A = this chain, B = another copy of it.
């Protein structure tokens, strides 16, 4: 048991069971000064409006770096929600709420193998990788796939996420049967992939599908039933932000986002 509070943080890193010091040193970090925020890799030289920053190879969160003009930046570990701001977008990325619902309902964890279709910006793939999964993700648009690969590097998960250009449906016969723990789908032809879920998933594996429209959602749920998946549920999520001021507490009238209906089913 690593006792977090008993020794220095730097020592602590050496003991960490899940990644070595060397691993951590190679991953990108955030440089922050007020509203300025840069995502950099160890060894980078970064030009800012406050001067040039040289990022040491052994940079650590908690360090302070100085530009050549003497302005200080704090070094921070990159966290999942930061990826929403720093990833280059090729469309509207899935929001933290919805990524969280996928993580929670499927139990993404270390050692998982995930097949993801509809990479898009790649935020879901990156956050699953950060939670310990190895992800194979398919993106049909070659330019989007290139951006997603750069995003994986930016997120420090290029070794855990294999971004493949193409249509997963055409590749499905080449994928190892019963080799995935979770299948995540955010594509227009999700129902066609759900047909393959029983073959691709291990026993007890989950499929999670986001569909923006009720008609496609229904098709997903019906296909899941037809191919014999279990525990099929489709949910819609409504979130309301609360407002607290001197007059009292009330729900905000801000727009309530609708990413889509989330259908979860299990291979039993």
| Contacts known (A102-B100, A131-B132, A136-B5); A111 close to B179, Cβ less than 8 A | no
Q: Choose one: B98, B176, B248, B254; the contact of A4 (CB below 8 Å).
A: B176
Most buried by B among A18, A213, A236: A18
8 smallest CB-CB distances across A and B, nearest first, come from: A100-B104, A80-B107, A213-B248, A109-B130, A131-B131, A76-B204, A100-B100, A5-B176
Contacts of A105 in B (CB 8 A): 81, 96-97, 100
Contacts of A102 in B (CB 8 A): 100
Sample 28 A-B pairs with CB under 8 A, ordered by A number: A2-B134, A4-B162, A9-B176, A30-B204, A32-B204, A62-B178, A76-B203, A77-B111, A77-B202, A79-B204, A79-B205, A80-B109, A81-B106, A100-B104, A101-B101, A101-B104, A109-B131, A132-B132, A214-B248, A214-B249, A234-B241, A234-B244, A235-B239, A240-B256, A242-B261, A252-B258, A255-B255, A255-B256
- Further pairs besides A19-B111, A76-B202, A108-B131: 10, Cβ < 8 Å: A2-B134, A9-B179, A18-B19, A62-B202, A79-B181, A107-B127, A107-B130, A213-B250, A236-B240, A237-B239
CA A217 to CA B115, docked complex, whole Å: 36
| Contacts known (A62-B203, A80-B107, A130-B110); A213 close to B247, Cβ less than 8 A | yes
Count residues on chain A whose CB falls below 8 Å from chain B CBs: 101
Most buried by B among A159, A217, A251, A260: A251
CA A92 to CA B18, docked complex, whole Å: 30
A218 at the interface (CB under 8 A from B): yes
Contacts of A178 in B (CB 8 A): 9, 62
Contacts of A104 in B (CB 8 A): 80, 96-101, 103-104, 127
CA A217 to CA B203, docked complex, whole Å: 39
Asked if B111 and A216 make an inter-chain contact with CB atoms under 8 angstroms apart, the answer reads no
A219: nearest residue on chain B (CB-CB)? B244
